[in-house]
């Protein structure tokens, strides 16, 4: 497995991350401890070093499993990311949200479960409208200065507030978000409107969760079949439409001798910038199959076919900015002669992805 640099953090992380929401059977569909241990072993043997968990996952069992499995020097070989925000005690209103109180108590609890003295990367699990961004960024920076957290990231945030948070952090000398976790897959490309362009511009690497749409992109749920996470915990955003796309993924897979899961993950890896698929598995065989995505080389034609099948509406203002009359008015009738060679601009005029410009 190859490695990439996680943005401004300087951390060297593997090109595939391992999500551990599947560690533990508390929610009715995860993996028992022995299987979870073998999944982690296989990931490590493949060269993986980037782990993702959360205090909320399987009621804390996910973190507990990792703490037990990573005892001793093994822990130092991994970059461990965990999250806080989601409620962990139904009887405590302050055990949810991004307040400083929940932040501190969540970190202390995660450190105990993980059996470590620091968290390499703390993710804010979701955007909390009740928590002012300046107060949150200051609270996060305090934890970094204490050494309990090394870096911070954002998960499930609007693009404009990530931009606000990192601009504020830069102005005030606080720790910025060094990563962004988003739901992103062939069935869910909404992040291409604003989140992914923002991430590229701010040099914020992306972890793509739900990269297989909870298994839908493997094809196992076609025609009402298959047993898995979605039969136990249905998700509207995973089950609405898209069967034609799932079929196309299968066709591309058959052409290359790959599996549909490998194709879907390989497509995520073709995205501009640093986009790291977040793998999740309840069986060792699933992870072994997913790891094979690094050997998939999609042709330009195959990528184009997948994206046609996964076409979506960019919406306003992007569709307005692509109209011919808008382009002529903004850039002049000579717009086709404009070449932008600035190296500081991360989205060039020849970039066909994540750009609202009609020639890009």
User: Hey, which residues are catalytic here?
Assistant: 57
List the beta bridge partners of residue 209: 183
Q: Which residue has the tokens 């970094």?
A: 144
Residue closest to 156 by CA, chosen among 105, 84, 250, 90: 84
């Amino acid at each position: 497995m190859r490695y990439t640099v996680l943005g401004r953090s300087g951390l060297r992380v593997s090109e595939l991350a391992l999500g551990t929401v599947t560690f533990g059977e508390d929610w009715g569909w995860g993996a028992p401890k022995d299987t979870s241990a073998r999944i982690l072993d296989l990931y490590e043997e493949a060269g993986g070093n980037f782990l993702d968990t959360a205090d909320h996952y399987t009621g804390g069992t996910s973190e507990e499993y990792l703490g037990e499995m990573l005892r001793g020097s093994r822990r130092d070989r991994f970059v461990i990311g965990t999250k806080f925000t989601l409620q962990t005690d139904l009887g405590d209103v302050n055990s949810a949200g991004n307040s400083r109180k929940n932040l501190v108590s969540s970190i202390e609890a995660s450190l105990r479960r993980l059996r470590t003295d620091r968290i390499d990367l703390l993710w804010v699990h979701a955007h909390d409208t009740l928590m002012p961004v300046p107060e949150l960024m200051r609270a996060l920076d305090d934890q970094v200065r204490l050494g309990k957290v090394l870096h911070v990231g954002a998960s499930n945030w609007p693009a404009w507030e990530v931009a606000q948070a990192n601009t504020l952090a830069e102005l005030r000398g606080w720790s910025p978000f060094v990563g962004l976790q988003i739901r992103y897959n062939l069935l869910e490309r909404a992040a291409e409107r604003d989140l992914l362009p923002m991430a590229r511009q701010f040099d914020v690497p992306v972890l793509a969760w739900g990269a297989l749409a909870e298994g839908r992109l493997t094809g196992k749920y076609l025609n009402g079949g298959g047993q898995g996470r979605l039969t136990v915990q249905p998700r509207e955003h995973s089950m609405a439409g898209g069967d034609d796309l799932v079929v196309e993924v299968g066709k591309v897979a058959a052409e290359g001798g790959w599996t549909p899961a490998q194709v879907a993950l390989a497509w995520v890896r073709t995205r501009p910038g640093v986009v790291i698929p977040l793998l999740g598995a309840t069986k060792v065989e699933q992870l072994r199959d997913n790891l094979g995505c690094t050997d998939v080389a999609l042709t330009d034609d195959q990528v184009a076919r997948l994206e046609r099948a996964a076409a979506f509406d960019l919406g306003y203002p992007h569709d307005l900015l692509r109209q011919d009359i808008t382009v002529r008015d903004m850039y002049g009738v000579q717009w086709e002669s404009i070449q932008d060679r600035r190296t500081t601009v991360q989205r060039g005029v020849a970039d066909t992805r994540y750009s609202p410009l009609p020639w890009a």
